[in-house]
Chains A and B, each alone.
Chain A
Amino acid sequence: MSPRNIIQKCLETSLDLIAICDHNSCENAGAVMREGGRQGVCVLPGLEICSREEVHILAVFGQLEQALAMQAWVYAGLTGQNQPDVFGYQIVANEDSEVLGENPRLLIGAVQLGLGDIVRQTHALNGLSLSAHVDRPVNGIINQLGFIPPDLMLDGVEVSYRLPLSRARRSLPEIGDRPCITSSDAHFLKDIGRACSVLRMAAPTIAEIRLALRDDQGRGVVV
């Protein structure tokens, strides 16, 4: 999963826009953004945060600085040290696949921050807040919390590659009328592109994605 390999795989699978969302971290997003910029793939920085409720929630931003500010806030709520022999090495690499260092934090853990606060902080930094893989038993919001809290100000929900977007609302009535997308949730190179969403937008920006999720001004999620 080096930055160059990720972008190469995006080109092969015709992806125009991706988000790099590591667990509770965005330290590898910058290198992929730079590599994507060189090769014509738009890369947004983000984090997949594991909340206090052990729900996975995505925070996706337009600018790296916003994502780094989110990361600093998340790190302040994250305890524990990684054990590489148990959880694997948490490498930070540049676009030339050079290892810059290792992240010592226990990124697999849950942060001591509630979902409501995470959504509010994401919005304060002008990011999009999406509940991740809501169809999944592990760390999906519906399984963890029984249902999606009605007052949680999500910008949308994501279903995993296992559930086609066209069937998502029927299969999971808990989604209701919330905007819904799908993505690969790729943890390995081979997973990139196994699911994707088609968004009708004027440009690959956070503002346009927000409009598309709201089905506003001619923008939309094509199902």
Chain B
Amino acid sequence: MKIKELVDRFGLQVAAGEAGLDRDARGGYCGDLLSDVMANAPLGCVWLTVQGHLNIVAVAVLREMAAIIITGGREPDAETLQKAHQEGLPILRSPHSAFELAGRLFTAGVGSASGS
């Protein structure tokens, strides 16, 4: 599923990285410990986190992620958005918890063979 489609279907706010909205989401991952995400997030995934530090952009680029979704209505740091903009990496915001949003994404087929 394209990131653009996720934005429309799940009412996500695009905070940065419009240039990357055409990317395909290949699976998903939830995590706020960046060492864990670096080691275990699937390549090309969408990543749900409450962490807003600049390092999330580097982690996302390293794992060739399609997008980052900041959950729980949190605000990422300004420099994070700036860097994501430079990288063309979509940063999306959702007022919902990672649990709730991940459930919806999974149900919609993100992360399963048929939907990804």
> Contact residues of A with B, CB < 8 Å?
52-54, 114-116, 142-147, 149
Q: Is the CB of A52 within 8 A of B54?
A: no
Residues of B within 8 A of A (CB): 32-35, 37-38, 51-55, 58-59, 77, 79
Q: Quick check: A146 and B52 within 8 Å, CB to CB?
A: no
Q: Please indicate the chain A residues that have their CB under 8 angstroms from the CB of B35 in the complex.
A: 142-146
- From A114, A115, A116, A144, give the contact of B34 (CB < 8 A): A144
Enumerate chain B residues within 8 angstroms of A52, measured Cβ to Cβ: 52-53
Closest-CB distance, A77 to chain B (whole angstroms)? 14
Q: Is the CB of B54 within 8 A of A149?
A: yes
Count of inter-chain pairs, beta carbons less than 8 A: 36
Contacts of A143 in B (CB 8 A): 33, 35
B74 to chain A, nearest CB (A): 9
- Minimum CB distance partner of B62 in chain A: A146
Contact B34 A146 (CB under 8 A): yes
B77 near A145 with CB under 8 A, answer: no
Q: Could you say which residues of chain A place their CB within 8 Å of the CB of B32?
A: 54
Structural contact, B38 and A146, CB atoms closer than 8 A = yes
- CA gap between A144 and B54 in the complex, in Å: 12
Can you report 14 A-B residue pairs in the complex whose CB atoms are below 8 A from each other? A52-B52, A53-B53, A54-B32, A114-B77, A115-B53, A144-B34, A145-B35, A145-B51, A145-B53, A145-B55, A146-B35, A147-B34, A147-B58, A149-B55
B37 and chain A: residue at smallest CB distance: A146
A173 to chain B, nearest CB (A): 14
Query: B77 contacts A146, CB within 8 Å?
Result: no
- Return chain A residues, CB-CB under 8 Å to B51: 53, 144-145
Q: Shortest distance in angstroms between A57's beta carbon and chain B's nearest beta carbon?
A: 13
Which of A53, A147, A149 has the most C-beta atoms of chain B within 10 angstroms of its own C-beta? A53
* B-chain residues with CB within 8 Å of residue A114 when the two chains form the complex: 52-53, 77
Tell me the bound Cα distance from A53 to B35 in angstroms. Answer: 13
B54 neighbours in A (Cβ, 8 Å): 149
